Amino acid sequence: MPDNNARSARIEPGPPSPWVNRHKNVEQVFDQLYEVANPPEPVQDFFGDLNLTVAALQGLIAQASADNRTLRAIGGGWSLSQAAVTDGRLIDTGFMNWVLPIDATGVTADYKGDPTLLMYLQCGIKIDDVNSTLAERPTALALKTSGASNGQTIAGAVSTGTHGSRFEFGSMAEYVVGIHLITGPSRVIWIERKSYPVISEALAARFGAEVVRDDTLFNAALVSFGSFGIIHGLMVETEKLYLLEIWRRRIALDDKLKLAMRTLDFTGLRPPLSNEKPFHFEVTVNPHDTGKGAYVTTMYHRDYQDTYKRAEASSSGSVRATVCSV
C-alpha cells in the first residue's frame, strides 16, 4: 500500500492583494490568497491523494475560523461582480483539476441513468480542459451544454448559474447530480437529490464523505456562490460526443417568425425548422435593416463522425465556422 503519510497537498501563498477578475471590472482587496494543489504526480492512490487535498482545505478552514476571517474558494475569475470573492482569505482552485470516470460498481442500484456517462470533476478544472478530457475518452463524451466561454472552472461556472443555449435544456447546473462539499474543518458531505440517488455508499466512503440525499438542500447548494462551503468536486452526467449542423439565414420578420419566437413552435416555418426540433434557436434583428428579415440561426444535433468538415482557421488565428445556409 502507498504511504500517503509521506505525501501532502501543496499550499502556497498566491499573488498579493488586490484580486482582479478576468474582465478587469472588479478589484477586491483581500487578506491572503492561497494556491492549493493536489499531491504531485504520479498519483499513487486517487482517493487517498484526493482526501489529502480535502484535509489541506479543512486546515485552511480551521485556521480562518480561529482567526475570525472569511474564506472563499475562487474559480477562473469570470464573474462580473464581487459576489464570488471576499475581503478575507481566498483559495485559488485552479490547480485542483482531477477527473474520475465512474462505472456500474460506483452507483446505487436505484440510479436511473447510464453509469458510463458519469464523470467526477474536481472543482478547479477549466471547461476547456473538461471538453478535451471527455473527447479523449475511449468512448468520446461531451458536456450537454456550457456557456459562451470556456475559461471558467466547473465549480465556478455551476455555482454562479452559468447558462447554456440548448433548446429545452437548462443551465450547466442541470447536468450536475452530486456535490462533494467541504462544510467545515471536520465534515465532508456528498449531496444528491433524494429523488435521484446516484453513488453507492461504498464510493462515498472512499471520498471520505457522508451521504446526504435531500432535494431541497441539493437545489439550494447547487447555485450558491460558494456560500455552503468549499465545493471540492461535482458529479456530472455527460453524453456521447456529438456534432452540430448549423444553418444561418435571413427570414422575413413576419407573423410566422414572431409566433415561433413567442411560442417556440416552428411548424409555420420552412424546412429544416418545420420538421425537426433544433438543438439551438437564435434570432438576431438589426433594427436599422429589417427589410430583408431577421438573422435566424438554428443548430441540429447529429451523431458524431470523424469525417465532418473542420472549421478553418484564418491567418489571424480566429476560426471561421462552416455554416450551412439557403
Summarised one tens digit per residue, pLDDT across range 39-63 is: 998 988 999 999 999 999 999 999 9
Peptide bond into 16 cis (omega under 30): no
Three-state SS sequence of 126-192: EHHHHHHHHHCCCCCEECCCCCCCCCCEHHHHHHCCCCCCCCCCCCHHHHEEEEEEEEECCEEEEEE
Exposure string of 96-116, with b = 16+ CB inside 10 Å and e = fewer, is bbbbbbbeeebbbeebeeebb
- For residue 137, the 8-state DSSP code is S
> Do residues 28 and 156 both lie within one domain?
yes
Query: In this predicted structure, what is the pLDDT of residue 323?
Result: 40
211 part of a folded domain: yes
Domain membership of residue 235 as a residue range? 4-240
- For residue 70, the 8-state DSSP code is -
> Do residues 250 and 162 both lie within one domain?
no
Q: For position 205, which CATH number holds? A: 3.30.465.10
Of the pLDDT bands very low, low, confident and very high (cuts 50, 70, 90), residue 79 is confident
> Do residues 21 and 168 both lie within one domain?
yes
Cell matching residue 186:
471536520
Query: In this predicted structure, what is the pLDDT of residue 135?
Result: 95
Query: In this predicted structure, what is the pLDDT of residue 321?
Result: 44
Q: Residue 180 carries which side chain, given as an amino acid letter?
A: H
| Number of structural domains found in the chain | 2
